[in-house]
Structures are given as C-alpha cells and as structure tokens.
C-alpha cells in the first residue's frame, strides 16, 4: 500500500500525495492565496432520452493548453536564475502520484443550485466531486512508460479514492479515467487522469448494469464472466493474457482500436483486487497502452476508463473491467462521431475487431 499524506490548497481544496515509499517531506504549503472555488453545476433531466445532463458554465474559464513552463500539474519549483517561484496546483517540489480536487469541477459538493420542477423541466444541484490524478511529476512522461511500481501507486490511489468518494452522501457512481492526446480534447498535456463521483449511475453504466441483471436472472451466471470465457475460447481477439487478467478486443467493438482488460476473478471494483492481481495489472496495463502507441508513427490518442460497480446497485452482479480505446483509425485519420453515432447512437466501425486485435498484437496483414 502506498504512503498517503493529506494537505489543503490555499482555496480549501483537498490534495493527497501517494508516495511509492515512506519518508518524503510533504510539508510544502500552497501560498497562491486563491479564492474559494465557486461552482454553478446543475443537472437537468432530458425527458425524451430519460437521462441527466450536467450544465457547468463556470468551466468555460478553465486552463487550456498552457505552455510547459506554465503547466499547473508540474511540481512547484524555484527558478535557478532569478529565484522566482512558479506556484502550481502541487506545492511540493517533486512528487510520485498526486490527487486533488479539480479547480474547475463539473460536479461539486458546494454548488448553490437548488432543486426545481416546473412541468417537464426538472433541475437538481450538480452534486458530486471531480478530482485530478497526476501520474508522475515528469511533464513529458506517459502512463505507458511508468515503471510497474509507479503504476501500482496509481492503482492504490484510484482504489483509495473510489472508496472515499463512494462514502459521500448522494454519490452513486465513481468513474476513474484518463484522456490522452489533444485529438481526444485534452486541455493539459501533463500525464494525468480524472475521477468523477456522479450523483447518478451514468447511462452507459446503467445499461451494462441492466444487462448484467437480465443475464443473471435468466441464467444464474455473470455476463462478463461468460463473455470473458467466450473470448478466451475463441482466441482471435486476445491481445494480452496473464494469470489474473485478459485483454481482448470486444466482438462488437465500437471504436477502431478498443481493448477490454478484465480480471479473471469476479470482483466489483478496484478496491476488491488482491495483491497478485494488482502486481500483474501493474505490468499488463501499461503493456497494452504501449501496443496502442505501436500502431502508428505517433503516440495514440486514447481514453482509458474503469467500469466499476455502482456504489449501491447490483454490486454483487458487477464484474470490473477497464476499457481502453483510440479514435485514430489510420495515420492522420480519426474516427469522428458523425451523424449515425452522434445523432442516432449507432456506431459504425471501419476496422474489424479481429483485424484490430492482430494489429495490436503486432501482426502484419
């Protein structure tokens, strides 16, 4: 287990250091004198789609692609020449892994919005929490190049925050994810991920939950376990396989290159993984990301998101999985969510999953 130190930024936000080893000084103080975060987050009910939409107008002013020397996720450092201090979101002069409350959160525990219901117009506060996870102090690093010990520290941080955020009143789902690459829409290039604590189960996760429930009611077995066994038996779409995890391209993959990393043991979330599983995952996870980076001449833009059990619903039926996918379908070409995908939510994939798996394995056509 990583060593955890807690502090507060100058505007009152919480910050947690997760260190690979004990004995590091985490007494540095944020001296920026920031004003307290004011969130206007609210969620509005889409009556036709039957799902919530989050409105967060205050995020329009968030930091957007700053130059490297102004990166807010780098450590706070004193310049050698003039002695000036570049204050960032992390007060320490170096760090291993850091988690802190987002300065521009989509969801917040302190939003002043009140509930209202006028006819079909239903508004609720955008309650919840958004956190930033910095994987390394190296601005030019990448998750795929982290040593296994550091990946393990990141996993410890995600598991600890999953448990902590799940204890917040009203939180129904905790989603940990990484966006990598400007093509994805990343606004800060420093290696980092995010954790969203939602006041509802997101639509995609709720559909998965219902599928798991329906399959269990009909057969008495876990659907994710059954899919994993079927993919292992078929073999054509397997990318990596260990003693505790298998990584495969789904039979009905939506994205050009998409991989599911699934534990062999039926567990609901990251906190439920044991030591041997975490040790293997710390090596297999970045290995899969390196396979994505090996597809083309430039690093792959991707999203990696942990599909964990809802905080309160059907936890016994849920089977943890990590989905990794890239929107790049060929050199210089992206998979855009155009008319069919964005307008009708019907995905059209240009690359057969079997071919994608072969490419990720490094096999030439």
The sheet with strand 302-307 has its strands ordered as: 3-8, 14-19, 97-101, 129-134, 192-198, 173-180, 302-307, 321-326, 257-263, 245-248, 238-241
- From 122, 192, 264, 266, the catalytic residue: 192
d(CA 196, CA 106): 8
Q: Is the dihedral of CA 123, 179, 169, 263 positive or negative?
A: positive
Give the closest residue to 320 by CA, choosing from 287, 274, 258.
Answer: 274
Q: What is the largest CA-CA distance in the chain?
A: 70
Dist CA 161 CA 75 (whole Å): 21
Q: Which residues pair with 17 in a beta bridge?
A: 5, 98
The conformation of residue 296, written as its DSSP 8-state character, comes to S
Helix axes 223-234, 203-219, angle to 10 degrees: 90
CA gap 131, 26 in Å, rounded: 19
Residue 71 annotated as binding site: yes
* CA separation for the pair 201, 198 (Å, rounded): 7
240 contact partners, CB below 8 Å, separation of at least 6 = 246, 247, 261, 284, 287, 288, 291
Report whether 130 belongs to an annotated binding site.
Answer: no
Using alpha carbons, select from 177, 1, 176, 192 the residue that is nearest to residue 97: 192
Buried b (16+ CB within 10 A) or exposed e, 355-365: bbbbbbeeeee
192 is catalytic: yes
CB 303, CB 178: distance < 8 Å: yes
Beta bridge partners of 178: 304
Cβ contact 159:186 at 8 Å: no
Helix extents (H) in the chain: 148-166, 203-219, 223-234, 275-293, 344, 353-360
- Specify binding-site residues for Zn(2+): 71, 74, 139, 190
| Catalytic (active-site) positions | 192
- Specify binding-site residues: 71, 74, 139, 190
């Amino acid at each position: 287990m990583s060593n955890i130190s807690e502090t507060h930024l100058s505007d009152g936000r919480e910050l947690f250091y997760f260190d690979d080893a004990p004995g590091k000084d985490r007494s540095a103080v944020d001296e920026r004198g920031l004003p307290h975060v004011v969130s206007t987050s609210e969620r509005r009910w889409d009556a036709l789609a039957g799902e919530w939409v989050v409105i967060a107008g205050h995020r329009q002013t968030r930091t957007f692609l700053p130059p490297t020397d102004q990166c807010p996720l780098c450590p706070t450092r004193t310049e050698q020449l003039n002695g000036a201090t570049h204050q960032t979101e992390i007060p320490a002069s170096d760090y291993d892994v850091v988690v802190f409350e987002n300065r521009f959160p989509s969801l917040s525990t302190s939003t002043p919005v009140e509930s209202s219901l006028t006819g079909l117009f239903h508004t609720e506060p955008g309650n919840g929490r958004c956190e930033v996870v910095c994987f390394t102090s190296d601005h030019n690093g990448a998750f795929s190049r982290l040593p296994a010990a550091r990946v393990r520290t990141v996993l410890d941080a995600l598991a600890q925050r999953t448990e902590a955020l799940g204890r917040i009143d009203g939180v129904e789902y905790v989603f940990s994810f990484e966006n990598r690459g400007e093509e994805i829409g990343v606004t800060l290039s420093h290696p980092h991920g995010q954790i969203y604590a939602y006041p509802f189960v997101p639509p995609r996760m709720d559909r998965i939950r219902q599928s798991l429930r329906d399959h269990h009611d009909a057969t008495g077995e876990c659907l994710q376990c059954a899919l994993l066994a079927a993919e292992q038996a078929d073999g054509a779409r397997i990318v990596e396989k260990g003693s505790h995890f298998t990584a495969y391209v789904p039979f009905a993959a939506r994205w050009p290159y998409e991989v599911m990393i699934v534990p062999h043991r039926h567990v609901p979330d990251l906190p439920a993984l044991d030591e041997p599983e975490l040790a293997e995952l710390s090596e297999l996870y970045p290995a899969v990301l390196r396979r994505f980076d090996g597809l083309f001449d430039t690093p792959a833009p991707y999203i990696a998101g942990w599909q964990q059990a809802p905080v309160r619903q059907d936890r016994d039926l849920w089977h943890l999985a990590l989905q990794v996918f890239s929107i790049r379908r060929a050199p210089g070409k992206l998979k855009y969510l155009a008319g069919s995908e964005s307008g009708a939510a019907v995905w059209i994939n240009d690359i057969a999953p079997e071919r994608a798996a072969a490419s990720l394995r490094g096999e030439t056509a």
